[in-house]
Amino acid sequence: MTVIKKVQLSGAIKTHPMFSGVGYFLDDAMFGIDFDGVFYVKANGVLIKQYKKEGWRPYVYRKPNEVVTNYYEIPEEYLSNQEYLGSLLESVISEAKHDLQLRLERKACQTKLRELPNMRLSTEVLLKQIDIVTVEEFREVGAAQVYVWIRDRLKLDVSERLLFRLEGALVKQHWMCLGKAKEQLLREQVLILS
């Protein structure tokens, strides 16, 4: 991959076929993916906000429904400047390693879906119907996206209360304690995802 060859990274980079592209890993942490010669870097937490603010384009996966990923195309100003590119990749790799460590720690103390607050058996069944079977999958997708999938894929008329219960399960508090600001943010996320 030309992008990787432009910079000096410490450690052995491994590749693996992923989502009809090629995933790039350093110390088992996936930090990027190449789709037909276009390189996308993984974004977590603060990086997602930065990339969105700067107008970076996310990779959109279409199979069978459109999914916007947390992988963003590297803009030309980074590709044409080796120093910028090196700094960017170091940040991305650092965040990817941190994210991997957190996931490994969570996996070690994994909770079952039914043990989460606000989780009813009927809600757990709905999650399984949209292929969310672990707490980790639920966290990665997020309450708003899970709500939209339940509503749209299962063609159900679901109330906002389900959205709030899902978020409460993720943040480990009763859904009625989320607060008006959080509820409004969730409504906005659902509108964006719809």
Highest mean pLDDT among 20-24, 49-53, 101-105, 161-165 belongs to 161-165
Q: Give tens-digit pLDDT for 26-44.
A: 888 888 898 888 899 999 8
For residues 33-69, one letter each, b for 16 or more C-beta atoms within 10 angstroms of the residue's C-beta and e for the rest, the string is bbbeeebbbbbeeebbeebeeeebebbeeeeeeeeee
How far is residue 51's CA from residue 66's CA, in Å, rounded to a whole number? 20
For residue 185, the model assigns a pLDDT of: 92
100 confidence band (pLDDT: 50, 70, 90):
confident
Looking at every residue in the chain, the average pLDDT score rounds to 86
Nearest to 143 by CA among 183, 114, 106, 99: 183
Q: Is the pLDDT of residue 108 over 60?
A: no
Residue 3 near residue 92, CB atoms below 8 Å: no
Q: What average pLDDT score do residues 36-63 get?
A: 86
CA angle, 143 as apex, 115 and 29 as ends, to 5°? 85
Which pTM was predicted?
A: 0.53
pLDDT at residue number 134: 87
Distance in angstroms (rounded) separating the CA atoms of residues 168 and 179: 11
What pLDDT, on a 0 to 100 scale, did the predictor assign at position 20?
77
- Model confidence at 47, pLDDT cuts 50, 70, 90, reads confident
